[in-house]
């Protein structure tokens, strides 16, 4: 007889929330769960209601804004504003940070990517929402009050809109995973106290970026492929949707890497609302992360949409990445030969 999930997201938060955060943080995470259900309803109908395709706008990242990006962003902002828990927020879809009107303001700062991987919407592949939460001792007045290092977060999480809708959040000590029952309309606890496996089983990277990779990344990938020579110890899994790749790696024991490269000279992924929350979750689950020499959580953000190199997942693989990075820094690795001139131009 399959075990029937008993605990809702709200019940779990109230029972397990460290005493110091009972109340407003519990309410905030629950409200983020409400926003997730609202976005999930739109994502599930993307092919039916006209939310496919682009709005014709280009966001601060220089990316075409998909209709569903806009819906997810507006939903998140509205729910957070009405929660009474949020003083300020920063979104991947908004050029600047947003201050909640005093009458509605609460004690937390929320940074979020409302819909990451949206280029996968039209092909019905998994996409997700990523968020990070900071306590605000006082109401943010300036951008500097929003540019907080990830180490200051009190909670972080993501929602994956995949074969099921899954809500994952961490409060620093543990990671809990909930699955939406669309019939009931509630998230039920499905993986309590989630821990990432110690053994690496899969690698997520866009290998077609290899011509742009630094020597350390090529060295790391060569080492990982070498592990398969005697037996098939590892496999490659990469969806091009950060949340989907991260979630699979968290469950199965994987490592995701997107380094600074010659194409993305500051990295591709955003520090504040993509890498920091996922690094926070990975570490709470017993994993690790690095930008090359240390955790992205220790980087002092200089601007809202700052990018970074990122390796996250099984701690042993992250340690190998840092070792290869150090070797390159010491000048021990040969740089990539320049690309051969196209045929006919020899
Ligand atoms: P590339 C999606 O746009 C995203 O931000 C992440 O979800 C994903 O991991 C990455 O970009 C994919 O980038 O350069 O491999 O297409």
Which residue's CA is minimally distant from atom 1 of ligand 1? Answer: 240
230 Cβ contact partners less than 8 Å away, ≥ 6 residues apart: none
Phi/psi of residue 287, nearest 5 degrees:
-95, -160
- CA-CA-CA-CA torsion for 219, 288, 270, 293, nearest 10 degrees? -50
Tell me if residue 191 falls in helix, strand or coil.
Answer: strand
Ligand 1 centroid, distance to 5 Cα (angstroms): 33
Question: Where are the domain boundaries for CATH 3.40.190.80 in the chain?
Answer: 202-337
Ligand 1 centroid, distance to 205 Cα (angstroms): 10
Closest ligand 1 atom to 243 CA: 7
Ligand 1 centroid, distance to 271 Cα (angstroms): 14
Which residue's CA is minimally distant from atom 12 of ligand 1? Answer: 240
C-alpha closest to that of 59 among 273, 309, 299: 273
Hey, which residues does 131 pair with through a beta bridge? 112, 157
Ligand 1 centroid, distance to 76 Cα (angstroms): 21
Hey, which residues does 159 pair with through a beta bridge? 129, 167
| Per-residue model confidence (pLDDT) at position 324 | 98
- Which CATH number fits the domain 202-337, given the four candidates 3.40.718.10, 3.40.50.1220, 3.40.50.1820, 3.40.190.80? 3.40.190.80
DSSP type of residue 97: -
Show the tokens assigned to 221: 């990938």
Ligand 1 centroid, distance to 268 Cα (angstroms): 7
The residue to mutate among 240, 258, 260, 264, having the most atoms of ligand 1 within 8 angstroms of its beta carbon, is: 240
Tell me if residue 270 falls in helix, strand or coil.
Answer: strand
How far lies 8's CA from each of 4, 30, 179, 192, in Å? 12, 10, 9, 12
CA quadruple 278, 85, 18, 152: dihedral sign? positive
Hey, which residues does 234 pair with through a beta bridge? none
Strands 235-236 and 202-204: parallel
| Per-residue model confidence (pLDDT) at position 197 | 98
Phi/psi of residue 125, nearest 5 degrees:
-95, 160
Which residue's CA is minimally distant from atom 2 of ligand 1? Answer: 117
Question: How many angstroms separate the CA atoms of 174 and 98, rounded?
Answer: 29
- What pTM was computed for the model? 0.93
Place of tokens 């779990």: 12
Ligand 1 centroid, distance to 283 Cα (angstroms): 22
Question: How many angstroms separate the CA atoms of 295 and 312, rounded?
Answer: 9
Indicate left, alpha or beta for 117 from its phi (over 0: left) and psi (-120 to 50: alpha).
Answer: left
The residue to mutate among 115, 242, 257, having the most atoms of ligand 1 within 8 angstroms of its beta carbon, is: 242
| Per-residue model confidence (pLDDT) at position 20 | 54
Q: Residue 134 in contact with residue 9, Cβ under 8 Å?
A: no
Question: How many angstroms separate the CA atoms of 179 and 170, rounded?
Answer: 15
Which residue's CA is minimally distant from atom 10 of ligand 1? Answer: 240
| Per-residue model confidence (pLDDT) at position 342 | 74
Which residues of the chain carry a pLDDT beneath 50?
A: none
Q: Residue 243 in contact with residue 117, Cβ under 8 Å?
A: yes
| Per-residue model confidence (pLDDT) at position 52 | 55
Ligand 1 centroid, distance to 240 Cα (angstroms): 5
CATH class of 9-191: alpha beta
| Per-residue model confidence (pLDDT) at position 257 | 98
Strands 86-91 and 108-116: parallel
Ligand 1 centroid, distance to 212 Cα (angstroms): 15
Place of tokens 């739109």: 42
Ligand 1 neighbours, Cβ below 6 Å, are: 116-117, 119, 206, 240-242, 268
For the chain, the residue count is 346
How far lies 13's CA from each of 18, 81, 155, 208, in Å? 9, 21, 12, 42
Question: Where are the domain boundaries for CATH 3.30.540.10 in the chain?
Answer: 9-191
Hey, which residues does 134 pair with through a beta bridge? 109
Indicate left, alpha or beta for 267 from its phi (over 0: left) and psi (-120 to 50: alpha).
Answer: left
| Per-residue model confidence (pLDDT) at position 340 | 72
| Per-residue model confidence (pLDDT) at position 18 | 61
Place of tokens 């959580």: 297
């Amino acid at each position: 007889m399959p075990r029937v999930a008993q605990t809702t997201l709200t019940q779990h938060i109230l029972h397990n929330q460290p005493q110091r955060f009972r109340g407003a943080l519990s309410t905030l995470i629950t409200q983020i769960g409400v926003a997730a259900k609202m976005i999930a309803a739109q994502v599930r109908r993307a092919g039916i209601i006209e939310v496919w395709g682009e709005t014709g706008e280009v966001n601060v990242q220089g990316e075409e804004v998909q209709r569903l990006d806009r819906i997810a962003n507006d939903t998140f902002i509205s729910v957070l504003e009405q929660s009474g828990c949020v003083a300020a927020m920063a979104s991947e879809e908004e050029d600047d940070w947003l201050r909640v009107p005093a009458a509605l303001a609460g004690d937390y700062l929320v940074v979020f990517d409302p819909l990451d991987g949206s280029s996968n919407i039209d092909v019905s592949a998994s996409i997700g929402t990523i968020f990070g939460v900071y306590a605000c001792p006082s109401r943010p007045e300036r951008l500097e009050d929003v540019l907080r290092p990830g180490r200051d977060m009190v909670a972080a999480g993501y929602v994956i809109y995949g074969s099921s809708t899954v809500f994952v959040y961490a409060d620093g000590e543990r990671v809990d995973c909930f699955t939406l029952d669309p019939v009931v309309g509630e998230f039920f606890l499905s993986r309590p106290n989630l821990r990432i496996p110690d053994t690496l089983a899969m690698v997520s990277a866009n290998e077609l970026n290899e011509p742009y990779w630094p020597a350390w990344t090529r060295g790391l990938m060569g080492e990982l492929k070498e592990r398969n020579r005697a037996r098939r110890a590892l496999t490659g899994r990469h969806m091009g949707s950060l949340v989907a790749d991260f979630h699979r790696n968290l469950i199965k024991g994987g490592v995701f890497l997107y380094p600074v490269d010659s194409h993305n000279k500051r990295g591709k992924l955003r520090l504040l609302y993509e890498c920091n929350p996922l690094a926070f979750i990975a570490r709470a689950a017993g994993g690790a992360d690095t930008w090359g020499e240390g955790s992205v959580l220790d980087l002092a953000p200089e601007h809202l949409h700052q990018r970074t190199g990122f390796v996250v997942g099984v701690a042993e693989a992250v340690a190998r990445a840092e070792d290869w990075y150090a070797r390159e820094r010491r000048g021990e690795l040969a740089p990539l030969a320049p690309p051969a001139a196209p045929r006919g131009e020899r």
